[in-house]
Structure 1
């Protein structure tokens, strides 16, 4: 059977179609495969057979009964199913396994680099300078900026807050103060900005912050990936960019690059406020005892 003639469809369908031909060993193998498809997509036939407690050649015989030339082709089918069928990849183990099956042995770093480069190249056409300027102009006029991200976005939230503070803006990382969530958002006014960060799906806390900011009349910015794009009510300005395809590394470099571009553009339009503040901060830090300069 050629590659173009390889079986297609779900594994359950292949099992049903070939049920009359399956042996006891086949059943034990399939039980192992179905219970842990992530591991099955990574292992060779001998490893799967060992886990099932059957002869090493049993996996090859099963693959042929299901219509494949051999176990390598069957394994490629399992890998393709993992990458192509699980489009949401909500299970962290599934996301990790999908990235592993996309990386050739000994090329994990290269695979991650390829994925990051592809995501950054796609960013060129996905986000415009106008999108960046909308963010920076909104930040420039803010009395106070509240940045909020959960999960992986929390690290970027902290970095944005730090950079804005050094640039002379009154910025607070809500992700670092969730135990004071009510107190912090109670201070919101129409002169403030809430910058939300959401990857994969907005948490309920992100949705709550968006609702409260809307009710208080504060400006709302949202930096999201494609899967977290929908926020209701819609933010005043939103930048939405893919962080990688299914089975690829879900880049944190992409949103960080966007945030860096916003802060750089802000420095270019705030009449020297950012540059003066950065110089003042540098001088202040150098005046501190050495133990505080690390």
Structure 2
């Protein structure tokens, strides 16, 4: 009925210990629960009973047969199992469910704020000023910066590219050139820098791009999660940081904050290059008339 891939070890053990006491209705309920543990962590007893096609009170009876005072306590057990047993959950639905079960009723915003604050605070402990300066120095000395991130990090890559170009540092967002990667990457030299963003797992193309940068003798920088996304060969400069524990928001705030710090630190060491470039860009945008036509 249940499989190791979909059911937490704690729930499997609980079912096994009580298998001889289960009724036909219990088995139907457990089949529904184990087929979709993520939904089981959210649904109440009546909803689960309805999906199993049994009496509304059956979920309560199952919970008590398994040793709980009622279905809410059983659901709390399922929620805790989901959060504790999944590590960095691969399923987007499971990640969302884990966040929901950590939030009190009506407290989603508060829960997100708490998790973001906690994630940012650990950045203070794990990332040093020296880490930020090494990234900034690489950009300052580069002929051009190639930035790459996929999924949610495509938006961060686009933002970093925008800011660096405005600051006077030629930058290419590789994610916006996926159909012309050979043409773009063929221009990479030892004078360039590749800046990678990769959390949760690395996509095959990331390592292919890294290999090309290695062959071109370009410097590679990477911001990844703590589990050490496999990048081969390893980057020349690497910041590994958590976006939050399972059940926390794991948004772009952490890597975006680090990227912002790098770009700001760059402005502090480039003898006014960034400031002058931003002023020139502002003047050009005003004089060109493009801002009026694009709004």
For residue 261 of structure 1, what is the aligned residue in structure 2?
261
**Alignment-derived partner of residue 5 in structure 1:** none
Provide Cα deviations, 1:211-247, integer angstroms capped at 9, x if missing partner: 1101110000101122453322111101111001011
- Is the partner of 2:74 in helix, strand or coil? helix
Q: Which residue of 1 aligns with 2:5?
A: none
1:210 shift after superposition: 0.8
| Cross-structure match for 1:168 | 168
RMSD of aligned alpha carbons: 1.4
Q: TM-score, normalised by structure 2?
A: 0.94
Count of residue pairs the alignment pairs up: 287
Aligned CA distance change for structure 1 residues 187 and 9 (closer, same or farther; 3 Å): closer
Report the TM-score when normalising by structure 1: 0.94
Residues 36-185 of structure 1 correspond to what in structure 2 (within 5 A)?
Answer: 36-185=36-185
Question: Which residue matches 2:232?
Answer: 232
Quick one: distance in 2 between partners of 1:136 and 1:156? 17
Measured against aligned partners, the alpha-carbon deviations of 1:33-92 in whole angstroms (never above 9, x if no partner) come to 111111111111122112212122211111111121221111110000111101131111
Structure 2 counterpart SS, 1:291: helix
- Distance in 1 of aligned mates of 2:283 and 2:174: 28
Give the direction of change, closer, same or farther, for the CA distance of 1:81–1:62 in structure 2 (3 Å limit): same
Cα pair 1:120 1:254 within 8 Å, conserved: yes
Please list every run of 5 or more consecutive structure 1 residues that lacks an aligned counterpart in the other structure.
1-7
Tell me how far 1:128 sits from its aligned partner.
0.4
Unpaired stretches in structure 2, ≥5 consecutive residues: 1-7
Residue of structure 1 in register with 2:292 after alignment: 291
1:34 is matched with 34
User: Matched residue of 1:168: which SS?
Assistant: coil
Tell me the distance in 2 between the aligned counterparts of 1:286 and 1:40: 56
Query: Is the Cα–Cα contact under 8 Å of residues 9 and 85 in structure 2 kept in the other structure?
Result: no
Paired residue for 2:277? 277
Whole-Å separation in 2 of the counterparts to 1:9 and 1:224:
29
For residues 130 and 242 of structure 1, the distance between their equivalents in structure 2, rounded to whole angstroms, comes to 18
Q: CA deviation at 1:9?
A: 5.4
Alignment check: 8 A CA contact 1:200 1:226 kept: no
Give, in whole Å, the separation in 2 of the partners of 1:249 and 1:261: 21
Cα deviation, residue 271, structure 1: 1.2
What is the CA distance between 1:200 and its match in structure 2? Answer: 0.8
Higher mean C-alpha deviation, range 53-62 or range 80-89: 53-62
Counterparts of 1:88 and 1:280, CA distance in 2: 45
Paired residue secondary structure (1:10): helix
Q: Quick one: distance in 1 between partners of 2:62 and 2:155?
A: 47
